[in-house]
Structure 1
């Protein structure tokens, strides 16, 4: 049980802010499930090639049961899942799904999520997974998806109920025939995704920029990261007028920019990566106040920062060979006598003057100075994550997220990683002529356009002014950060989208080759 948190908005116990450690072991085995081994299992998931289902089912333990269920399910509008208790002494709960061998990552994860939602909530402590009939590479990909889905479904989320729900029972996942699957990397990504979702779910009276910073400091000690905090006084000395415009209405003076650093044991010749995250712990909209419907989930407006730190955790747990700095812009966007207003002119850290148009475009303001700091460190790649614009949701829905880059040659590889990882992105244009829509008669640039057409593109053009020209940069507008009933293998409304994508991106040879020629 996660105990109820103490009252008040600051000084939270770190134990309430960070999630509990995973208690699930993921193991590879070359053994093939049989009626005998299934009789010792609580639950089992099978994924079979979709082309010849009857033939594939004939090779499964309890084949006649599955074939009868399949015949009964024919004519279903959606590819059916076959779910049944097995006729053994344990009454093992088992489920069978079907998948095209050439299926892309999202399709694999979506099927795995459907299977996990049937099996994990049943109270199973041990889950067996098998993907017979696929070649080695395809089987490994399917089993990785099944493990990821089971871990996502079993990950506890914050609650403050007087009568707490039963904790997840899952303690072991056996992957049969997983071959060369990197189980450690799979669990590392799942842990990073869990951290991102957990943080986004916390109520705003518990996770504010003060408690968030303290939790990150504790996490840095635990994981061996370096930690530095640029408080408001330090940011004022640096001339971070864009960030400070947003933070000045806060009741506390705890806002600032956190820098976390990961360095692997081998430190020579490392590729240097910068991660940046928008961490607006609650967004009222400011003077341009949001309506109730738009404000209801604004405790989750810090998901960009949660994804960035979740990615850093996944990188650390997988012992990736990169030097990574993670920059998090932590503040609230409050309303009050000191709140920033339309038509103010502020100067960002790099000297660019900004005409404020709308106080609810605060994310790009906080990110502007954070990107300047991060790009001055001269990483080989800079990636930022932000729940930045409703326009991106309107363009893509919550199923995809948008991507923008100052290196157009990276776009094919960026989208390819989305297809293979299952966290899909779509690249938008960033042509210079869009700048005409954010020209200002009184400053170097307008914060946004009053017309609101293509705001996701204009926001990216705005942010590009704060990235050093010699730094390859990717901006991810997290339109799929929040989706009712979850997305793909993730069952929760806050999806943690981006952790899996970034981990796959940084390990993708085609992307790294493109990065080498795009810089």
Structure 2
């Protein structure tokens, strides 16, 4: 049975603490800069490509992105994006609004198919920069993911290899964020598979591979078991299938339990 799981490997994330240096910029094909909606004059001095970006920003007005290139050997593209304080209706920016902003922020940079992309947050408080960086990571992961392509000669594309978070005050724990990114992309992948590829049987096999990889317990309830359990609604739907391979696969995961401290009396 063919493997229906995506083969796409997610990019490597490198976090660099400290000031942004020319050496760090020289490794990048593109750079996304996140700033407050209103940039104070002292902050502009920290912005790579500040002369051009400041001039463009002044012309275009607040809220618009600005773009320039650095005069280095990579001609690094630089996109300046301001993090909005409030949504268009004046309410605080919630999760959906932040993800929508992040999707727009990475779109132009990824259109150049960089192998090394940098992100730096300047002039933001931790409670602002951390959610913004996490949203950008999710957006980059979604944009760079390749959905199923069953052409005899799939289109060759340059893939993002490294995402560098530079100018960090401290490293972030991104394990959960990247797990979310992989889960979202897996769901997108499975829903994009054609019906002749993802059948009930191949779906069960695919989930079995995932369970083995991640240490999940599985239990499959076939049609005969479901009849005994009285799962009438499910059985009614399953009758429409020519193959009697439908069923319910129960997945279970329990993390390893640590040593629990005794409760105080």
TM-score normalised per structure 1 = 0.46
The within-5 A match list for 1:129-168 is 129-168=119-158
Instruction: Give matches, 1:118-517, under 5 Å.
Output: 118-176=108-166, 177=168, 179=170, 181-266=172-257
Which is worse superposed, 101-110 or 141-150? 101-110
Which of 84, 100, 103 is the equivalent residue of 1:110?
A: 100
Coordinate RMSD, CA, aligned = 2.1
Q: Secondary structure at the match of 2:101?
A: helix
Q: Given that residues 215 and 253 in structure 2 are in contact (C-alpha distance below 8 angstroms), is that contact kept between their aligned partners in structure 1?
A: yes
Aligned partner (choices 70, 76, 93) of residue 92 of structure 1: 76
Q: Structure 1 residues 60 and 25, CA, compared in 2 at 3 Å: closer, same or farther?
A: same
Partner Cα distance (1:252, 1:211) in 2: 12
Q: Deviations over 1:389-434 (max 9, x none)?
A: xxxxxxxxxxxxxxxxxxxxxxxxxxxxxxxxxxxxxxxxxxxxxx
**1:44 equivalent among 9, 14, 31:** 31
Find the residue that maps to 1:122 and give its secondary structure: coil
Taking structure 2 as the reference length, the TM-score comes to 0.87
Partner of 1:426: none
Conserved? CA contact 2:12–2:162, under 8 Å:
yes
Report if aligned partners of 2:29, 2:76 keep a CA contact under 8 Å in 1.
yes
Q: 1:243 to 1:183 in 2, by over 3 A?
A: same
- Give the number of equivalent residue pairs: 253
Cα separation, 1, equivalents of 2:157 and 2:144: 9
Q: Distance in 1 between matches of 2:97 and 2:229?
A: 47
Q: Whole-Å Cα distance in 1 between the matches of residues 30 and 79 of structure 2?
A: 8
1:54 deviates by: 5.9
Structure 1 gap ranges (5+): 1-11, 270-519
TM-superposed CA distance for 1:239, in Å, is 1.4
C-alpha spacing 1:191/1:168, structure 2 compared with 1 (3 Å): farther
The structural deviation recorded for 1:20 is: 1.7
Identify which of structures 1 and 2 has the higher relative contact order when contacts are C-alpha pairs closer than 8 Å and 6+ apart.
2
Structure 2: gaps of 5 or more residues: 86-91, 261-265
Q: Does 1:28 align with 2:15?
A: yes
Native 8 Å contact 1:57 1:66 kept in 2 = no
